[in-house]
Amino acid sequence: MPAPTDSAAANAAARERILTRLRQGMAAVPARPEVLELDEDWLRRQPPLGDPAERFLREQQSVGSQVLRVPTWEALPAAVAPWFREHGIASAITGRVERLTPLRRHLAELGVTVRTYDKPLEQQRGEVFGTDCGITTSAGGIAETGSIILVPGPEEPRLLSLAVPIHLALVERARLHATLGDFIRSGAYQRAVPTNLVLVSGASRTADIELTLAVGVHGPRLLLVALIG
């Protein structure tokens, strides 16, 4: 194995050669000016979506998610409790989110074991991979495609929405964007690029065997979505 300095030098040399070839190519094929323009009209188009909240939930339902609407955060615990009975959810895990305290308390009263993902994965692997339902808030949603915008971070780590068989996502109506383009143009992502952002538009699915749909291949088999507001 070459010493690190050798591989650093090899890397710099490869970088130089690749970029040189590309610069020659750039010079050989002058770009037409129209290629460099953005089609602002298309990017700003507003497709007819109807009511964004209705559209968002309809898109989620069309890929098998269960959805409900609640008027306020206060009404949330009682509204989602029936899901826990219906799906036999015995354990749930959340991040360190103040806002979820009433929900956690309510679930505990119903006999659900409620855990917190508050230590590094390496120290909490068993609980993270061994809980029935992960509950997360979100940074909003995209109406056109029914996508939930998750921005995992210290308070709500990535695996809360991935390692569990059932994911309950809480989305505020006020934070719905009409299209992916609208969300991008809001500039929220560019202002403070997070380690990870993921748009979730349904449960984990595959059609790799005879193009037959199967859910829960690696991530959750069921997505529950509560739209608040």
Partner 1 sequence: MAPDPKAFRAESARALGNAALRANYRNATQRVRSRRDERMSELTDLPALRGIGQAAKRRALARLPDLLEQLEERLTRRGVQVHWAETTARANAIVLEIARRRGARRVVKGKSMVSEEMELNHFLAGHGIEALEADLGEFIVQLAGQLPVHLVVPAIHMNRQEIARLFQDKLAVPYTADVQELTRIARRVLREKFQQADIGISGVNFAVAETGTLALVENEGNGRMVTSVPPVHIALMGIEKVVERLEDLAPLVRLLTRSATGQTITSYFNWLSSPRRPGELDGPEEVHVILLDSGRSAIYRDAQLRETLDCIRCAACLNVCPVYQRIGGKAYGSPYMGPIGKILTPQMAGLDRAGHLAGASTLCGACYEVCPVQIPIPDLLLRLRQEASQPTAAGRALLPGAGGGRSAGEALVWKGWQVLHDRPAAYRLFTRLAGLLGAVLPEAALGAAGPLSTWRKARALPVPARRTLHDLLADRPRQ
Q: Per CB under 8 A, which of residues 64..83 are in contact with partner 1? A: none
The stretch near partner 1 (CB under 8 A) out of 68-76, 80-88, 169-177, 191-199 is 191-199
Q: Based on CB atoms, which residue is closest to partner 1, 81 or 197?
A: 197
- Least CB distance to partner 1 at residue 106 (A): 25
8 A C-beta contact, residue 202 and residue 78: no
Q: Is 43 in the site for partner 1 (CB under 8 A)?
A: yes
Place of tokens 């770009």: 31
Q: Based on CB atoms, which residue is closest to partner 1, 13 or 75?
A: 13
Integer Cα distance of 66 and 215 in angstroms: 14
Six-digit token pair at 10?
Answer: 């090899």
8 A C-beta contact, residue 164 and residue 197: no
8 A C-beta contact, residue 207 and residue 213: yes
Q: Is 188 in the site for partner 1 (CB under 8 A)?
A: no
Q: Based on CB atoms, which residue is closest to partner 1, 102 or 216?
A: 216
When binding is defined by CB under 8 A, the residue of 158, 173, 175, 229 that contacts partner 1 is 158
What's the N-to-C CA distance of the chain in angstroms?
59
